[in-house]
């Protein structure tokens, strides 16, 4: 049944998953690290992509049927190989639910992939617990950085922010108003 849902390639079950931000706020890089079949895969993404993925997983989980299943087992204690060659920068992410296995499915597409090639670079299935952890961890990692502008949604740096929603009109301080 999974082949019918996902084409000729079935998603692989995740053994371990983690979300990380590397660097200082303002110059951080974000990545999703997963272990599938004993191999580490790293998916690099923008902050907004990570935030959107976390929110989408949370919303999908709210719509999933309640199967009354117990808590699934914890991830295996495998170590991530952060030197893996299986790394790419995501261009597109698709999200779904596999009813037959009661798993959230995430398909990630390489940013540098040809437009004609519609095959996901990495297709993974997460348990409910892994999905909840992904959503929570993504929110925590994103919120630990710079705050977002309430008007445009862009990050605000410590030096300030020129919001495009203000059409170039920046606040004028009292000292500046004397020279006008």
pTM, whole model, 2 decimals?
Answer: 0.76
Pairing label, strands 122-126, 12-22? parallel
Instruction: Examine the pLDDT at 2 and tell me if it is beyond 90.
Output: no
pLDDT-based confidence at 161, cuts 50/70/90?
confident
pLDDT for res 73 = 66
- Beta carbons within 8 Å of 46's beta carbon, 6+ residues apart: 30
Could you tell me the CA-to-CA distances from 53 to 101, 161, 179 in Å, in that order? 21, 25, 48
pLDDT for res 70 = 57
Residue with token string 């004609």: 116
Domains of the chain plus CATH, in order, are 2-145 (3.30.2450.30)
Instruction: Examine the pLDDT at 77 and tell me if it is beyond 90.
Output: no
pLDDT for res 177 = 43
């Amino acid at each position: 049944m999974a082949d019918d849902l996902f084409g000729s390639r079935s998603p692989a079950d995740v053994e371990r998953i983690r979300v990380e931000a590397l660097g200082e706020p303002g110059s951080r890089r974000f990545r999703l690290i997963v272990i599938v079949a004993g191999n580490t895969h790293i998916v690099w993404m923008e902050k907004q992509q990570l935030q959107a993925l976390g929110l989408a997983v949370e919303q999908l989980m709210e719509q999933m049927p309640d199967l009354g299943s117990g808590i699934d087992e914890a991830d295996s204690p495998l170590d991530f190989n952060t030197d893996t060659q299986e790394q790419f920068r995501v261009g597109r992410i698709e999200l779904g639910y596999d009813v037959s296995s009661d798993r959230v499915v995430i398909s990630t597409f390489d940013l540098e992939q040809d437009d004609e090639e519609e095959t996901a670079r990495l297709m993974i299935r997460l348990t409910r617990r892994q999905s909840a952890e992904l959503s929570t961890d993504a929110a925590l990692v994103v919120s630990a950085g710079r705050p977002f502008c309430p008007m445009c949604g862009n990050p605000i740096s410590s030096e300030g922010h020129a919001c495009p929603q203000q059409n170039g009109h920046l606040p004028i301080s009292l000292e500046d108003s004397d020279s006008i």
